[in-house]
A and B are shown apart, each in its own frame.
Chain A
Amino acid sequence: MTVLSNKEKAVYAWQFTVPGFGEEGQKKLKESSVLVSRVGGLGSVVAYELAAAGVGKLVLAHAGNVKESDLNRQLLMTDDWLGKPRVASARKRLLELNPRLDIEIIPENINEHNAADIVSKSDLIVDCAPLFQERFLMNKEAVNQNKPLVDCAMYELEAQIITIIPGESACLSCLYPDWPEVWKREFPVFGAVSGTVACLGAMEAIKIISDLGEPLSGTLLTMDLRDMSFLRTNIKPLKHCPVCSHKF
């Protein structure tokens, strides 16, 4: 049985008083593992919030070294780490905040060869990849392995988030049944936009792990920060989805 140390009780004390969470919720977070892929503008903030909240194990997947153009939004990367591996910077920064965490770093992006293995390392996935190729691979593996996936995305001052509970809600392939080839890897971005949807994604993960509130299962939340408009839309599972229809 998971026990919280006195130090942990002191660090997380202000979360215990959240109705419906309490010490039991904290123990669930401590027992859980979350995959964050990648740890860029969005994933950095997701990982930071999950580390602060006390998720026991974080699995971080992201290839490449820190570049100058990362620094406007990838908050786990620092100027003194330019040219060095992103995941190592992320791990260092997260442990500075919370040295009680288990952090596994994988210096790779999700691909068809590693997706099943990387997804299998965690209880829940927060999908923060800038390419649909990676997103679809994680979606397929999450559905196959029956793991909740929180899909967060942004563009310019707009962002969206949907939570996928296999067998309960529409998956990413229901949302986008064909290849979104119009999407380009380079996109206009402020760190604060990535960070906004990242905090929502982290909150979804915390809620699902600790049975708190209602996740956005089957609901797409879209937002435009130019005018601060938010919209919730029900997304129905496709009857003939090649990825998830066998779950219903």
Chain B
Amino acid sequence: MQIKMKYSAQLKREAGISEELVDLQPDQSFDHLLATIANQHSIGFRNVIFDDQNSRRKSLLIIQNGRQVNSEETLKLNNGDEILLMSPIAGG
């Protein structure tokens, strides 16, 4: 399946791109997707997504096809999904 990834703020800056297409096997999970993109980009990009214990940071906002998937929910991927990852910002 193919997933369209979009990135904002620090994540976009680290990736150097605002969006990309990622190909996955049909049964692959969201965690697998995050590991895949983390491997394709810089260590700074990985650090925005994962903490030192390699757990996904809950402060990363996840929007699947326009709908937020919060830290109490599980994200199930579907072919053609658009996933927006927004890194936390606090600039004044």
A residues with a Cβ closer than 8 A to B are: 38, 40-43, 128-132, 135, 152-156, 158-160, 174-183, 187, 189, 194, 220, 222, 224, 231, 233-236, 238-240
Contacts and interface: CB of A to CB of B under 8 A. Distances in A.
Given A155-B9, A158-B9, A130 B92 contact: yes
Contacts of A234: 67-68
A43 B92 contact: yes
B63 A158 contact: no
A129 B92 contact: yes
A180 B92 contact: no
Nearest to A132: B90
Contacts of B66: 233
Interface string B30-72: 0000000000000000011001000001110101001110111
Contacts of A152: 92
A55 B24 CA distance: 54
A182 B47 contact: yes
A178 B57 contact: yes
Query: Which 5 pairs across A and B sit closest by C-beta, in order of nearness?
Result: A180-B88, A180-B59, A155-B89, A178-B58, A130-B92
Given A132-B88, A153-B92, A179-B59, A239 B9 contact: no
Given A155-B9, A177-B59, A180-B59, A236 B68 contact: yes
